[in-house]
Amino acid sequence: MSEQLEKRAAGAGRPASGTAGAEQLRKDALALDAEDALASARELFTLDEGVYLDGNSLGALPRQVPLRMADVIGREWGELRIRSWDESGWWTAPERIGDRIAPLVGAAPGQIVVGDSTSVNVFKALVGAVRLADAGQGPGGAPGAGDGSVRDEIVVDVSTFPTDGYIAQSAARLTGRRLVPVEPGDVPAAVGPRTAAVLVNHVDFRTGRLHDLPGITAAVRAAGAISVWDLCHSAGALPVGLDAHGVDLAVGCTYKYLNGGPGAPAYLYVAARHQAGFDSPLPGWNSHADPFGMTPGYAPADGAARGRVGTPDILSMLALESALDVWDGVSIDAVRAKSLALTDFFLECVRAYVPEGLVTSLTPEEHGQRGSQVALRCADAPAVMKELIARGVVGDLRRPDVLRFGFTPLYVGFADAERAARVLAEVLADVPAAPTR
């Protein structure tokens, strides 16, 4: 794949639009697939003959999961019953599975706990971040600027996924802070001695724009505040580097690029340096130092376990654990390289097949600013996506006018990208739409 990509990056052999161009693109797709070191991973998933480009909403089913779940339900639950909490390792699953996710987001073991939804974990992380700042556990070591001021602001990504915004509003009310919505690129200029915590999405869910996690985290740290990152659209698609970049807290879902299944539990990352001081706003019995002591007073557990709340959702958690087997031996750097190649190729095919003016890409061309999806603005987008799905190309929609195509490198190939662009052009010819602006 590398030789082909080098030629394309240099602009060599780029086809013109039209029949000859389409034939060349199909040949290029086959050549790229033939050189793809990750191509064999597709066989690990249950897929049909269509093109599935919605893994940024729900990942495909790994083939081994149904057999694992049959054992969990029939033997561990059906036969062992309550003994499975110990004998089958149910009790330790949140931390054990967290350690399997850790390498995919650049974290050392012992810093990630799996459980609850992304929304619940955003709440835990953001309120916990403010409490860390109040306790003087930010990088500056002081609650404020040292001049009597307090850290009374929470900075939030203005383009954030709506739930994150709702929770940030609630966390601000709960902690008596003022919410400061800013564009992610403006965070470094917005943070200062009054900033307690900053919540940013690593990848914009609408456009696929990748935000500068290292730079923003460094700016937050320099301001003495606590960083909280939402990794829902980056984990499993690109390197994150939580430890390397000094991230304080992070959350993410597991049903997108991690293929954990619908409603699979999310995860919470608490950097080791903050674990002793992390004060969760949801101190459930599962995070107690002596959970079976059933004492009225709360004493938090050590380590990542203090991010737990209630009884783990064992069935979905163990489905996730089995799904993570597809990552054995896979390099996240190789996944990132293929992701960029796929999205480059898809955009090239769109330019070749779709008449100018019918769609406009909202996804940055620059690799350093792109996640693993392509968002195209298109008039009458709901009708276009409905017809795409009917013709076997499954993407999704963000109203009113955005078509989203998620590229999961473990099971999406270059022929898929070419076919999706070609079918898109056919649909746009059949579903008349006004030019985009």
C-alpha distance from residue 22 to each of 230, 326, 397 (Å): 39, 33, 26
Active site residue 230: yes
Cβ burial, residue 293 (10 Å; 0-12/13-18/19+): exposed
131, 306, 370, 404: which one is catalytic? 404
Identify the active-site residue in 123, 161, 267, 345: 161
Torsion of CA 156, 162, 167, 173, to 10 degrees: 70
**Tokens coding 128:** 């916990």
Q: Which of 255, 278, 405, 407 is catalytic?
A: 255
Has 398 been annotated as catalytic?
Answer: no
Active-site choice (256, 308, 370, 377): 256
For the question of residue 100 being annotated catalytic, the response is no
Of 54, 116, 204, 230, which is the active-site residue?
Answer: 230
Instruction: Provide the annotated active-site residues.
Output: 161, 230, 255-256, 404
